[in-house]
Amino acid sequence: MKKLKQVLPILVALFTVGVMIGCKDTGPHTNPEVKFEATLSGANEVPPVQSSATGRMEGVYNKDTKTLTYTITHSGLTPTAGHFHSGQSYQTGPVIFDFGTALTSPISGTWTLNQQQENLLFAGLLYVNLHTEANKSGEIRGQVNMSDFVTWKANRK
């Protein structure tokens, strides 16, 4: 029993080191790129809009350069405006970033965020909104959320 008490701390230490070596941390502090996505629909508008139009936003945010590279595809509508807005999924919010005038699908671009905008992005407080002549306040909308949760976990090698 005395030998076990002497050897046990050594075994625990060796086990701990083995686990640490066997795990590769790919958390947000080691991987500068984080994926984001949004599914756009009329049901997500506030208030909801009857529309058969659909859309999808996919993006990659680089924390080192603070740049979001995004692509938005859509069908069933002709946008007259498109933006990133700030706000919860149940509220309307101000325009934070305008997509410009090239709104045919796919809409692609980059956006360099300031610290406040980065905070909104990681808090899930940004949404994509595409506006049309028939629905000037927005026809389809989608809340932007992280899609790559694997980067937030330690993965076994």
> Which domains are delineated in the chain?
33-148 (2.60.40.200)
Q: What is the pLDDT of residue 149?
A: 55
Averaged pLDDT for residues 21-29: 47
**Amino acid residing at 150:** V
pLDDT at residue 24 is higher than 60 = no
Q: What is the pLDDT of residue 8?
A: 47
In angstroms, the CA 37 to CA 35 distance is 7
pLDDT at residue 18 is higher than 90 = no
Residue with tokens 């995004």: 70
Q: What is the pLDDT of residue 31?
A: 80
Q: Looking at the DSSP assignment, which residues form a beta bridge with residue 90?
A: none
Closest among 51, 67, 62, 69 to 141, alpha carbons compared: 51
Q: What is the pLDDT of residue 69?
A: 98
- For 28-153, strand residue ranges (E) read 33-41, 54-62, 67-75, 81-86, 95-98, 107-112, 126-131, 140-143, 145-146
Strands 81-86 and 126-131: antiparallel
- Distance (Å) of CA 37 to CA 2, 67, 78: 58, 15, 21
Q: What is the pLDDT of residue 108?
A: 97
Contact 40, 85 (CB under 8 A): no
Q: What is the pLDDT of residue 17?
A: 38
Averaged pLDDT for residues 104-116: 97
Averaged pLDDT for residues 53-60: 97
In angstroms, the CA 106 to CA 59 distance is 13
Question: Over pLDDT 90: what percentage of the chain?
Answer: 73
Averaged pLDDT for residues 15-21: 42
pLDDT at residue 111 is higher than 80 = yes
In angstroms, the CA 12 to CA 18 distance is 10
